[in-house]
């Protein structure tokens, strides 16, 4: 091979390497940035066109005020109706003070007072023996607190659980239960995104007359919200001396709730009524895949598509 050819090949290789280096370390980044800017420009242009058509010959401020005037009455109505969702004094109890040297000692002194006061109430109603419920509920008895180191929040939760449980027991006692064999408090939960729900499960004995009166009271109470989530009634006394006015065995779930004023509601496509027959939107296991598959991919410029074909 001639010397001239070899020199030409070397020069061509150096030039090619230089061009590649300039592209790789300088032009590539610039071109990618340009492609992103071009895509952003297309998106802004589409949004500008859409807003121009929507607010044609109209001041945006006027439109916003008009929407606010329509929304505010709805918001006021929601807050007014939200007052119906309350639990009365079921969750009202003496707050735990801040100036306490030992919250353990405070609880060991306060909890027996609460327990004994409610026990005396049951004795006064003649229902102490009929209520076969652990009146501590999820709060630990004082003898178990000796090995714990509770803080203010834990003590407040324990005393709150006792107070809420006692309030539900009192509700059944006021309904003239013959016996309250079991009662369990469910964990507090959020219902319909705007309600703090409190559910209790009860296993008790009642007469038919008292049960009907109790259910009517829950149903027609205009000051508070109640919901009987489930009920099972059995009559073990179909024959015999108790058949005329039997003691029914009743198992039921009752829920009361508090409206969370100012709660943020997440609107999904399905809840907003998209008219797609329930497809898309959020599902029990996350977002429906069909929505992602049907969603149109963002538009990309020709330059961006060429850049994505580059092996570098």
Task: Considering only CA atoms, give the Rg of the chain.
Answer: 35
Q: Any idea what the Cα angle at residue 258 is, between residues 167 and 156, rounded to 5°?
A: 55
The pair of structure tokens assigned to 79 is 């807050």
pLDDT of 130 reads 92
Nearest C-alpha neighbor of 264 from the set 181, 206, 205, 194: 194
User: Strands 227-234 and 195-207: what pairing?
Assistant: unpaired
Neighbours of 207 (CB within 10 A): 15
Nearest C-alpha neighbor of 166 from the set 144, 134, 130, 141: 134
Write down the pTM of the prediction.
0.62
Class of domain 177-265: alpha beta
Rounded CA separation 97/108 (Å): 14
Sequence-distant (≥ 6) Cβ neighbours of residue 235 within 8 angstroms: 246, 248, 249
pLDDT of 122 reads 95
Contact 169, 127 (CB under 8 A): no
pLDDT of 307 reads 45
What are phi and psi for residue 130, nearest 5 degrees? Answer: -80, -20
Domain extents in the chain: 3-57+266-309, 88-174, 177-265
Local confidence pLDDT in tens for the 312 residues of the chain: 566 666 666 666 666 666 666 666 666 677 777 788 888 888 888 888 887 777 667 777 777 777 778 777 877 777 778 888 888 877 777 888 888 888 889 999 999 999 999 999 999 999 999 999 999 998 999 888 876 788 899 999 999 999 999 999 999 999 999 999 999 999 888 888 888 899 999 999 999 999 999 999 998 888 888 999 999 999 988 876 667 788 999 999 999 998 887 777 777 655 544 443 433 333 332 334 444 444 444 555 444 544 444 444
Q: Give the SS3 label for residue 131.
A: strand
Q: Give the SS3 label for residue 307.
A: helix
pLDDT of 115 reads 94
């Amino acid at each position: 091979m001639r010397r001239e050819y070899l020199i030409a090949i070397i020069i061509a290789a150096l030039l090619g390497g230089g061009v590649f280096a300039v592209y790789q370390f300088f032009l590539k980044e610039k071109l990618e940035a340009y492609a992103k800017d071009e895509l952003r420009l297309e998106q802004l242009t589409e949004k500008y066109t859409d807003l121009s058509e929507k607010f044609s010959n109209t001041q945006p401020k006027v439109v916003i005020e008009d929407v606010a005037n329509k929304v505010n009455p709805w918001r006021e109505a929601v807050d007014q109706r939200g007052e119906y969702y309350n639990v009365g004094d079921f969750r009202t109890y003496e707050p735990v003070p801040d100036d306490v040297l030992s919250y353990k000692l405070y609880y060991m002194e306060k909890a027996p007072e609460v327990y004994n006061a409610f026990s005396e109430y049951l004795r006064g109603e003649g229902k102490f023996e009929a209520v076969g419920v652990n009146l501590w509920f999820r709060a630990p008895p004082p003898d178990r607190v000796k090995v714990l180191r509770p803080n203010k929040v834990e003590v407040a939760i324990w005393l709150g659980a006792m107070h809420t449980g006692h309030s539900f027991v009192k509700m059944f006692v006021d309904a003239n239960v013959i016996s309250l064999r079991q009662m369990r408090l469910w964990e507090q939960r959020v219902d319909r995104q705007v309600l703090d729900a409190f559910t209790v499960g009860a296993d008790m004995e009642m007469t038919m007359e008292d049960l009907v009166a109790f259910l009517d009271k829950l149903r027609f109470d205009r000051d508070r919200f109640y919901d009987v989530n489930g009920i099972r009634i059995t009559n073990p006394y179909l024959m015999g001396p108790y058949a005329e006015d039997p003691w029914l065995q009743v198992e039921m779930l009752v829920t009361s709730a508090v409206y969370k004023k100012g709660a943020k509601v997440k609107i999904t496509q399905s809840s907003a009524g998209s008219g797609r027959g329930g497809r898309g939107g959020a599902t029990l296991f996350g977002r429906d895949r069909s929505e992602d598959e049907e969603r149109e991919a963002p538009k990309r410029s020709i330059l961006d598509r060429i850049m994505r074909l580059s092996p570098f």
